[in-house]
Structure 1
Amino acid sequence: MNTPTSTHCLDWSSKPSFKPRILALAIATAFASELMAAQDSTTADKTNVQDDLVIYGGTYRNTATKTALSAEETPQGYSVIDQEELTMRNADSVATALRYSTGVNTELRGGAVTRLDLFTIRGFINYQNSYDGLQLLFNDWNLQPQIDAKALEQVEVFKGPTSTLYGSMPPGGMVNLISKKPQQDATHSIELATGSHSKKEASFDSTGQIGDSDVSYRVIGLAREQDSQADTAGDKRTLIAPSIDWQVSDKTLINFNLYYQDDPEMGIYSTLPAAGMFRDNPNGRFDQNSFSGDKNWNAYEREVTLLGYKVNHQFNDNWTLLHNARYMDATAYQENTYTSYLDTDMRTLHRRAYLTNETSETITIDNQLSGVIQTGAIEHNLLLGMDYQKLTSDIRYEDNAIAALDLFKRNNSLVDRNTLDMTDTIYSSDFTKKFEQTGVYLQDQMKIDQLVLIAGVRYDDYKGSESGKKYGVSTDTELTEEHVSGRIGALYQLDSGFAPFVSYAESYQPETGVTRNNEEFEPSTGKQWEAGVKYSAQDGRLSGSLVAYQITKDNVPTRDPNGSPYDLIQAGEVESKGIELELNAQISNNLMLSAFYSRQDVEVTKDNNGLQGKTPVWTPEQTLSIWANYDIYTGTLAGTTLGYGIRHIGKAQMDAMNTDTVPSATLMDLSVGYDLAGLSTAASGASVRLSVNNLFDKESYSCYDSNNCWFGAERTVEASLKYDF
């Protein structure tokens, strides 16, 4: 849930009933049974299954196609941030990993808010990531599962509508987080880090084969503690992520995986008014660590457990089945404050305190049968799938007024917990959100010499409900709907390395809930036309893409300016048009350069409430980022890697009515790594790294409206020592 003044175009719809559909479970069980029955007892070859469908192991699939066809063969925008890039840029979260990527505007709530990964892709907001191809289901309030970057091999950004393969998704695109997989070769590492905000961090990563068995393992652990950018708050996290690959035979691989994360403290969530940040305030200016909440009423405790398994079975040289399933149990408790309004003296902030207590329980299943059929000169890469998602979330919310805060003579200890009454308020809520979604999809990616054609279709069956007490009123809503989404595209691979392409894709998002007039929401649908060209040099030293797109989304939920802070309306239609340029060049054996540019025009094109012609918040007109890596191989500095990045975020609208703009910002990042083996062979395997984000400590901002703004991340410095063995 989001505080009344910071509600941000949320789907307040109900989410899943937790009783599995008989059809979905029957098919999943049948698939799993068939897999086990089809096992081959031969164990002579214990290498990865069906190498043409494998990158990190038998259970990996390309995000854009759910097959192993490369990104260059996909007629749609697609970017990969690999492990080397994550390490060099010291990306300690998904939000920071996305700083250097086309079409993405990240860290929408600034640098001090770390509890959620919030970003827009091609102008549309996204609260929900996928993890190894399965959605991390979000309850649309405060319980968003996060995956720490330490557990990730890479981050994949699939741009434009993705509903044909993944069901309910915003039209701008999706982010798929790829976990680190067990390896047969034994490698181990431990790492210690310290830095700004009294950061203390220890992590380890160990993988290898268990003796001479058919089992390989991987286990990742992390403990982190640091102060928040904002006064009086802090961040703490521990995680453990073990996984096992069992090569049952040369045709069957089974993976078991667990991810457990405990976040006893997660910084702040409160906001500041624009007046005193980038707008004039006669009382002065805020500094970047200013806090408008209260340390006696500021808590966020989250615990997430993900338990999953995957079965990959190769029936023959052409056909493979992947069964991927995960169960999630998550809880979050929050104490926070939000802004009611800023007084006319421009310094007295009237506030309310609130608490939320939330639980989520989910099941996600995806069955993918993929194969290759040759019909004359046409090679068909077929994919037939069925997935199933289900969520039950219990949500309790209470709030009440608290003492106003003098922003320029701040006392962040005004709340007395013993006298604060958080029961029977006008906004009191205790309700359950449920949804259940079953999807069946079919895709054919055809290769005719140098021509690649793709066509896909998906059928979704959705049921959602919401029941209980919400904002002091009983609620009992249900939604049942069916939807068909499609996707087509063509790409031609020229001998020169260029590959022009064109595509059309559709998106679908159920919208349960009602307006303040008890009118049910209609589903949000989107469609995109995209055209461009990709390039990959034969020697691998130069690659890139240039794309242009137009996305139209109907029935967009927005806050109702004539209702309470919790009321939503469907504004009608939003259109996003833009171009994206991505370039990766190995300039020399030492120098690697990456550049990313996006320009977008996002506009509300149909509306019944005064928003027509306006640009939504959090959608800068343009972004530009450049990253350079320089490796030194000889001389006294041999083993040194230098990295330098520049990020420009263009100006964006401050509020939905476009009354002002948030200033643009240009930030610089620096990274220096050194292999200590260059000093002594006794230090072989040890390395150090120094990273500085926002090198010159430039202020940046983001806003939802004039009363709810955030400072971007201030300068942070981190030093780490890693030992690989």
Structure 2
Amino acid sequence: MRKISRFTATTAVTAISAVMFVAAMPAQAQDEPAPADTSGDQLETVATTDESGERVIVVTAKAYVPQGASTATKSDIPLVETPQSVSVVSRDQIDLLNFVDAQQAVRYVAGATGENYGPDLRFDFIQVRGFPPKQFIDGLATPVTTTIFSNGVDLYAFESLDILKGPASVLYGSAPPGGIYNQTSRRPSTEFGGEVSLKYGEDDFKQLGMTATGAATDWLDLRATVMVRDRDAERDFVHAQRIYAAPAATVHIGPDTRLTALAYYQYDDVKGDTNGFLPVQGTLLPNPNGPIRRDVNLGEPDYNRYVRDQWGAGFELEHDFGRDWKATINARWSDYSERQDVLYNAFLNADNRTITRSIFPYAEDVKSFGIDGRMAGKVATGAIEHTILAGIDHRTVQNEAFFGFLFAAGGTIDIYNPVYNVGAPYPRPAADIPYADQHLNQTGAYLQDQLAIGGLRLLFSGRYDWVDLESFGTAKDQHKFTWRAGASYVTPSGFVPYISFGTSFEPTLGINASGEAFRPTTGEQWEAGIKYDGRDLGSDVDLLATAALFQIKQQNVASASYGPVTAPPLGATQSGEVEVKGAELEFVARIRNQLAINGSYAYTDSEVTKSEVAVEIGEPLPVTPKHKASLFADYTFQRGGLGGFGFGAGVRYVSKSAGSLPGPFNAVVYTSDSSTLFDAIVHYDLPDWRFAINGSNVFDKRYVARCAGPNNCTFGAGRQVIGTATYKF
């Protein structure tokens, strides 16, 4: 395996660090304070009595309705002024709705869908505007696997999840045109606080979570976060364990400089799971023998196993120069390793009740390093105020993956009456066939300026990336310039209309029929909409609403229509184009510290417009429903005997979507079920305690989330009821 510390990485790190440290050193004597620390726990419950002596319990959730998200602009430009759609799922929303993972967290977000493979215990399967988004943590790309843009770090680790919709390459480099999602780690705070949380629910779901933060000295703040989960699954004979630990420390080097160290470790062990792979007959289509049970396990409980180890360690250095100028460097080293042995469905036999199984071992290791250094500040030129951002980032990734495959070597099993270990011991082939051998070096320089002229805001962003990509011995330089331009107008009433155009690029693994490395895919998006910040409605009203129209086009899409089915595709063509058009409406509100509302609607029309595979043309993108709508409301009583008691309910609708694209390896495309699901919650809050029972899909609707092929169908998540007791301090 190559060493990750190549010359390009060393050069970039040295340059960024030297510039920032030298700039910061003489400025430490400034009198202006560093930015206020807002990283502490936001949810607070206070018990008081009014003038009549009546007991009053008020639950505040300051972060429920977001005000800003640095993901969109890497600066402090307010969300309402950003000429691009951004959805923020805050920690307050995560806790109220009891989201367990990121794919659940997008349930009430417009334009994003999750759980496309049902309740997967390993990864977060998310689509944004028709494309799987790239995952970032604290603004740096995660060491995702070759085939899935997710590393599965637990949602308990984060303060918020931001979804930037549309091209994001101008600030983040290589990324798909649908967008990215960025998760912000829990940070240390000077203010002492924390929680101990215990959960128990269906499928023997057990979880203990703890986080605590506070000042150790007048110059050192600490935080520790730990989570342990032990659970079964909806499928029989599946058991999963997860351990997560994250220490963090902030050193206040001076009045204007602070260094935050962040680290995490996560271990996953999932035993007995096949992760779906059910036949289409009996799930999406009728079977003469009847429907297949949702909890059936067609693998081998004593054979199938998935194990993952991953860790990350890095820092964030911030220096405030005063006069609205700040420098930031954040960096992270990451290591990701997964191993899998799975015995799964290969095909359904003629009797429509037995399947023949194949064996598939898989192993992948990803090592990465990322660093981002930037300066941001404000300057006035006459009547124009500029908010300027300039930065350089660098990313190095080393990825190696191997697999094995024994077709039809796992014997047969009756899908209606499975009996295990009939052919045991089953062979365990080595994962020794190369699946990925990738080395990536990416360096990007970016510049952004927001011009404020009265109520008018003009945003211009540009970036140039130098990408050195080597895959299976084939090297390719994929350099690219990307840009974004937008305009918005802030009206006195709080309405902000906007329009923007942005571009994206993403390196493509593989070679074409001539043996040449692929060109990067490119994307562009037009977006227009209006945002509304309703905080002027009153001090006890928080409201953010957005409406958007967009059109995305992606070019240079590779099609594996020729040559073997491998990854990367060999002998494929690269002439495909995709178009996605849509409309989105989303709002989040919290009124009088009693009523919380989340609502969204999205219309997404996707189409393959060009392809060497003729049957693809005119077809929609997989797992991209045309319609998605959701609404959730929660109310908490404040006075009398019911003070502190609350309840809520939600409804979610997702229309049908294709499970795959047609082609030589997918003669038939299967369309998943539409679904209308209901959620509910009851909770009781006291100054130090919170008790809640959350239910999702409370009526236990049976539906198929996706059929990627005739033997690769997955049921959607069934009913999940979880009780939570949380002690806050």
Give the TM-score normalised by structure 1.
0.90
Q: 1 CA distance for matches of 2:149 and 2:351?
A: 36
Partner of residue 491, structure 2: 494
Partner of residue 6, structure 2: 19
CA contact 1:616–1:655 (8 Å) conserved in 2? yes
Query: Cα 1:430–1:690, aligned 2, differ >3 Å: closer, same or farther?
Result: closer
Alignment of 1:16-415 (within 5 A): 18-21=5-8, 22-34=10-22, 37-38=25-26, 40=28, 49-51=34-36, 56=39, 62-111=70-119, 113-126=120-133, 128-141=134-147, 144-211=150-217, 213-265=218-270, 267-401=273-407, 402=409, 403-414=411-422
Partner of residue 511, structure 1: 508
- Is 2:723 the partner of 1:719? yes
Query: Cα 1:513–1:170, aligned 2, differ >3 Å: closer, same or farther?
Result: same
Q: 1 CA distance for matches of 2:143 and 2:452?
A: 35
AA aligned opposite 2:26: A
CA-CA distance at 1:163 after TM superposition: 0.4
Q: 2 CA distance for matches of 1:38 and 1:79?
A: 39
CA-CA distance at 1:562 after TM superposition: 7.1
Q: 1 CA distance for matches of 2:649 and 2:12?
A: 49
- Is 2:517 the partner of 1:520? yes
CA contact 2:330–2:371 (8 Å) conserved in 1? yes
Partner of residue 51, structure 2: none
Q: 2 CA distance for matches of 1:133 and 1:76?
A: 17
Q: Secondary structure at the match of 1:495?
A: coil
AA aligned opposite 1:664: S
Query: Cα 1:90–1:663, aligned 2, differ >3 Å: closer, same or farther?
Result: same
CA-CA distance at 1:408 after TM superposition: 2.4
- Is 2:702 the partner of 1:695? no
Q: 1 CA distance for matches of 2:609 and 2:632?
A: 36
Query: Cα 1:85–1:530, aligned 2, differ >3 Å: closer, same or farther?
Result: same
What percent of counterpart residues are identical? 30
Q: 1 CA distance for matches of 2:165 and 2:671?
A: 26
Partner of residue 594, structure 1: 598
Structure 1 vs Structure 2 CA RMSD: 2.4
CA-CA distance at 1:620 after TM superposition: 0.5
- Is 2:643 the partner of 1:638? yes
Partner of residue 543, structure 1: 544
CA-CA distance at 1:581 after TM superposition: 0.5
Q: Secondary structure at the match of 2:517?
A: coil
Where does the alignment leave 5 or more consecutive residues of structure 2 unmatched?
A: 41-67, 663-667
Q: Secondary structure at the match of 2:700?
A: coil
Q: 1 CA distance for matches of 2:348 and 2:402?
A: 27
CA contact 2:274–2:343 (8 Å) conserved in 1? no
CA-CA distance at 1:20 after TM superposition: 4.5
Q: Secondary structure at the match of 1:323?
A: strand
CA-CA distance at 1:95 after TM superposition: 1.0
AA aligned opposite 2:225: I
- The C-alpha deviation readout for 1:111-168, integer Å capped at 9, x for no partner, is 2x22111111011123x31111111131314794222121211111111000000011
AA aligned opposite 1:522: R
CA contact 1:120–1:618 (8 Å) conserved in 2? yes
Query: Cα 1:707–1:17, aligned 2, differ >3 Å: closer, same or farther?
Result: same
CA-CA distance at 1:483 after TM superposition: 0.5
CA-CA distance at 1:341 after TM superposition: 2.9
CA contact 2:4–2:367 (8 Å) conserved in 1? no
Q: Secondary structure at the match of 2:717?
A: coil
- Is 2:583 the partner of 1:579? yes
Partner of residue 679, structure 2: 669
- Is 2:480 the partner of 1:483? yes
Q: 1 CA distance for matches of 2:351 and 2:559?
A: 30
CA contact 1:479–1:512 (8 Å) conserved in 2? no
Q: 2 CA distance for matches of 1:455 and 1:631?
A: 43
Q: 2 CA distance for matches of 1:15 and 1:624?
A: 47
AA aligned opposite 1:502: I
CA-CA distance at 1:663 after TM superposition: 1.5
Query: Cα 1:86–1:15, aligned 2, differ >3 Å: closer, same or farther?
Result: farther
Query: Cα 1:421–1:273, aligned 2, differ >3 Å: closer, same or farther?
Result: same
Q: How many residues align?
A: 684
Q: 2 CA distance for matches of 1:516 and 1:347?
A: 42
Instruction: Please say which of residues 554-563 and 234-243 is displaced more in the overlay.
Output: 554-563
Q: Secondary structure at the match of 1:713?
A: coil
Query: Cα 1:695–1:270, aligned 2, differ >3 Å: closer, same or farther?
Result: closer
CA-CA distance at 1:477 after TM superposition: 1.9
AA aligned opposite 1:488: A
AA aligned opposite 1:602: S
CA-CA distance at 1:567 after TM superposition: 6.8
Q: 2 CA distance for matches of 1:557 and 1:579?
A: 27
AA aligned opposite 1:26: T
CA contact 2:20–2:373 (8 Å) conserved in 1? no
Q: 2 CA distance for matches of 1:415 and 1:148?
A: 36
Q: Secondary structure at the match of 2:421?
A: coil
Q: 1 CA distance for matches of 2:244 and 2:637?
A: 35
Q: 2 CA distance for matches of 1:270 and 1:659?
A: 18
Q: Secondary structure at the match of 1:125?
A: coil
- The C-alpha deviation readout for 1:203-249, integer Å capped at 9, x for no partner, is 111011114x2111111101110012212211111111111111111
CA contact 1:252–1:314 (8 Å) conserved in 2? yes
Q: 2 CA distance for matches of 1:618 and 1:283?
A: 28
CA contact 2:103–2:125 (8 Å) conserved in 1? yes
CA-CA distance at 1:430 after TM superposition: 6.9
Instruction: Please say which of residues 398-407 and 63-72 is displaced more in the overlay.
Output: 398-407
Q: Secondary structure at the match of 1:80?
A: strand
Partner of residue 665, structure 2: none
CA contact 1:294–1:415 (8 Å) conserved in 2? no
Q: 2 CA distance for matches of 1:462 and 1:567?
A: 18
Instruction: Please say which of residues 648-657 and 198-207 is displaced more in the overlay.
Output: 648-657
Query: Cα 1:685–1:224, aligned 2, differ >3 Å: closer, same or farther?
Result: same
CA-CA distance at 1:627 after TM superposition: 0.7
CA contact 1:456–1:487 (8 Å) conserved in 2? yes
CA-CA distance at 1:638 after TM superposition: 0.9
CA-CA distance at 1:686 after TM superposition: 1.9
Q: Secondary structure at the match of 1:705?
A: coil
Instruction: Please say which of residues 16-25 and 658-667 is displaced more in the overlay.
Output: 16-25
Alignment of 1:676-691 (within 5 A): 677=686, 684-691=687-694
AA aligned opposite 1:28: I
Query: Cα 1:143–1:319, aligned 2, differ >3 Å: closer, same or farther?
Result: closer
Q: Secondary structure at the match of 2:80?
A: helix
CA contact 1:618–1:704 (8 Å) conserved in 2? no
Where does the alignment leave 5 or more consecutive residues of structure 1 unmatched?
A: 1-13, 468-475, 678-683
